[in-house]
Homo-oligomer: A and B are copies of this chain.
């Protein structure tokens, strides 16, 4: 494998040329039936409609060359097979394998990376047994009653992915089982979540790979106190998901412990025990397994080298076209499904923490744009909020719509000849067209410039399987982009400075910062503390 700078790839020059006069979506008859059919890909239960992107066959051919030249699929395969992809050449770095795909490579005899797949299977078997014990009544609370609620305590990757997936799949939740989440160090977060549950029937699932995450350790202490205050034994209510050998890997303190491994980064860990324990509690084991099945299907489909047949690779290359060549700094992800309300927040972490980087794999500073700002909210809600700017603002925002033909609960209702689900899907399709086509008008305030690139991802229904598919589509899109930009998408050194400064301020607040170790009176930290006057 060769790691080449993005700017040195020959396809980059071609794409820069094409970007001088890209396809104009408002040109008469451009959005033909033929174009819609041609720029359409079906894979793993999803349709990707990308006729409303500002590209043509020449651009797609150059993007294919870019993908080939950067050896994206080869590197993806190497990643799945255990190459040490989390590293920076010539500098101290994490030096880890990147094996989140192994957490769902549990359905075949010859997995890509046998030893990690074995570990995944072992953890799944332990989870299965634990869930059976809960169901059969072998594990109950002190009063002999079954547990009804699981609260996951975690932050970042130990929160966003699992939370997004639980919210997405609440409709499939087993009767009498609910889940909640505590993440923020803000004490009001825990106070509010705990106020809404019957603690005596609640399991708390504390998730931290290192076992030392400030917020999670603090919230675990807070939860333990709450159990004790209610005369409940924390060791009968708290389970842990943590790295082997971490300070949290202590069976005496937990009702059960599941393991996560350092070859799976937090933001890619939703399909490991980090997400599966709470999802298993909510959905039951078999349904939770369907998530893995959907994700695994994409893991395999992503091995295809033809970008027109590889959905996450095509999404990645279109994103690079919009970001690096057409120059759009952000990306809106707009699910037309209320259940996906927190999926954009998960993507914010997965994408921006992976690709918000400025250093190449060889330790040089990048001289090209890396990851965009990713944001979004569900439609149709967004239509009544920020879509004004998408249609008529001066910032151009590429959009990715996500929709489903059928609703989850099946409780639909016909008003004026169409169901709510039909209205939902029709609105999504209409927005895609409106952004692309625009509309001339003699009143400048009713004029829509159009030519705003977007695509649509569409599946039949949001189920555990398609949720797994969707998750993996975005994970791989992000990985392919990071590989193309020649950055390490798997570390997060950018979070360290804030932590270090916070610790300095906290040492000052707790009184440890006095004397020789204390901060100078005229330091920015002291100045800020004086003005902010935080609680003593």
Q: Which residue of B is nearest A423, CB measured?
A: B185
Nearest CB of chain B from residue A121's CB, rounded to whole Å: 29
Tell whether A512 pairs with B417 under 8 Å between CB atoms, given A356-B392, A373-B397: yes
Q: Cβ of A359 < 8 Å from any Cβ of B? A: yes
**A93 to chain B: which residues have CB within 8 Å?**
445
How close is A84's CB to chain B, nearest CB, in angstroms?
15
CA distance A20 to B110 in the complex (A): 60
Q: Which chain A residues in 147-189 approach chain B with CB under 8 Å?
A: 155-157, 159-160, 170-171, 183-189
Q: Is A257 an interface residue (CB 8 A)?
A: no
Contact of A429 among B214, B336, B391, B528 (CB under 8 A): B528
Cα A449 to Cα B357 in complex, Å, equals 12
A184 touching B378 in the complex, CB below 8 Å, given contacts A348-B385, A445-B91, A491-B445: yes
- Determine if A515 is an interface residue (Cβ-Cβ < 8 Å): no
Roughly how many angstroms separate A123 CA and B395 CA in the complex, as a whole number? 39
The answer to whether A534 has its CB under 8 Å from any CB of chain B is: yes
8 Å CB contact of A501 from B49, B385, B434: B434
A526, B33: Cβ atoms closer than 8 Å:
yes
Given contacts A356-B386, A378-B184, A429-B505, contact A437 B524 (CB under 8 A): yes
Q: Report copies per complex.
A: 2
Does A143 sit at the interface, judged by CB under 8 A? Answer: no
**Interface of chain A residues 172 through 220 with chain B (CB within 8 A):** 183-192, 213-215, 217-218
Give the chain B neighbours of A497 by CB distance below 8 A. Answer: 391, 434, 438-439, 448
Contact A528–B424 (Cβ < 8 Å): no
**Is A380 an interface position by the 8 A CB rule?**
yes
User: Is B492 touching A388 in the complex (CB atoms < 8 A)?
Assistant: yes
Chain B residues with Cβ under 8 A from A390's Cβ? Answer: 356, 494
Nearest neighbor of A496 in chain B, beta-carbon distance: B446
With A185-B424, A387-B495, A527-B31 already in contact, the answer to whether A430 and B502 are too (CB < 8 A) is yes
Known: A188-B407, A409-B187, A531-B40. A352 touches B526 (CB 8 A): no
Identify the stretch in A101-109, A364-372, A465-473 within 8 Å (CB) of chain B at 4 or more residues. Answer: A364-372
Check B534–A364 contact: CB distance below 8 A. Answer: no
- CB neighbours of A183 from chain B (8 A): 381
Separation of A366 and B359 alpha carbons in the complex (Å): 37
Say which one of A7-15, A133-141, A282-290, A337-345 lies at the interface with B.
A337-345
**A-B contacts, 11 listed (Cβ < 8 Å):** A31-B524, A33-B522, A218-B423, A352-B388, A358-B392, A388-B493, A392-B494, A418-B510, A425-B534, A434-B498, A456-B532
